Amino acid sequence: MATGSDKEYREHLDKISSMIDKYEQTHNVFIVRDLNGTLMQSRNNNHDKLLKNFCSQPQLTYTVRNAHKPTFYRHNGNSTSQIDYILENFRGSNLLDSTIMDQNPLNSSAHVPVKAKTNLIIKGKTKMISTTSKKKTILKWEETNIENYQQKVNQVRKKTEMQNETDVERQAINIMDILQEATELSVVKKIVALKGPKWKASQKVKECIEKNKKAFYAWKQKDRPKNEENTEYQEMKKHKRELRKQIGKEDHIDKQNFYNKLMDEHDSKAFTTN
């Protein structure tokens, strides 16, 4: 949620309102997020007024057991606030209650969790195993004990009956299997790609990344100076800033496209998962 001017904050609330208007007749609508404003009556700045007015129009409701507790603690300890909410539109009756959790030393965030209890039953989905995101490794022969590798080859070979095998192709396959098993058992490996979603960078971002890399290595070769008058230091900071700016710009476009897609859909397919 926007933290800038009242105008930007109002625009974000208007977008959420338009989505509620579109889908509340056919869907259970929940708003779950840091709203950068409070519904507590003890505070009433401009953001708070806008948020309270926003909740009253589509009649968003919430039930909090410990409604007096803050959800946000500034790291300097100077102030707290309640700005994280789980809201439901008035037509729904699925949100039974919500609870603001206590602070925990393992939680490094300035926010504490807000837990909700509903009467909804969501069926679990079988996790699909992706064939395009397997862990990739390379063999580090220079770090491998060759003597140990040879011993593994002999051990595996003894387990494989090749003495009576007369087919040359079958013998070749057996030899490859032996070498592969010995490699798995003894050769040092290095992970070069982990499982997980791939971020698809645009051509413009790729160009910014390449410029940023070159500027960084040029700065690194000069022993990483941090003098503002240093040319390499200035170039490194400039290209890093341009990369972040480009990523932020494209991220904003992606969010806007997602919003437009939600508003352009004429049925519930926008919320359907395969």
DSSP 21-80: HHHTTTS--EEEEE-SS---TT---HHHHHHHHHHHTTTEE--BTTTTS-SEE-TTSS-E
Domains of the chain: which residue ranges? 6-120, 136-193, 197-266
Q: Within a 10 A sphere around the Cβ of 61, how many other Cβ atoms? A: 13
Pairing of strands 30-34, 80-81: unpaired
By mean pLDDT, which of 143-157, 242-256, 258-272 is the weakest? 258-272
Residue 199 reports pLDDT greater than 70: no
Q: How far apart are CA 250 and CA 228, in angstroms?
A: 29
pLDDT in tens, 39-71: 998 888 999 999 999 988 777 888 787 888 999
pLDDT of residue 186: 83
CA end-to-end span of the chain: 29
Stated pTM of the model: 0.51
Helix, strand or coil for residue 81? strand
CB contact at 8 A, 39 and 84? no
Task: Name the CA radius of gyration of the chain, rounded.
Answer: 29
State the sign of the Cα–Cα–Cα–Cα dihedral 1, 46, 50, 43.
positive
CB neighbour list of residue 166: distance below 8 Å, 6 or more residues apart: none
- Say how far apart CA 46 and CA 58 lie, in whole Å: 19
> What span, in angstroms and rounded, lies between the C-alpha atoms of 240 and 212?
6
pLDDT on residue 144: 82
Note the pLDDT tens digit of each residue in 66-116: 888 999 988 776 789 999 999 988 766 788 888 999 987 667 788 999 999
Residue in the structure block whose two tokens are 């997980």: 196
Are the C-beta atoms of residues 86 and 96 closer than 8 Å to each other?
no
CATH class name, domain 6-120: alpha beta
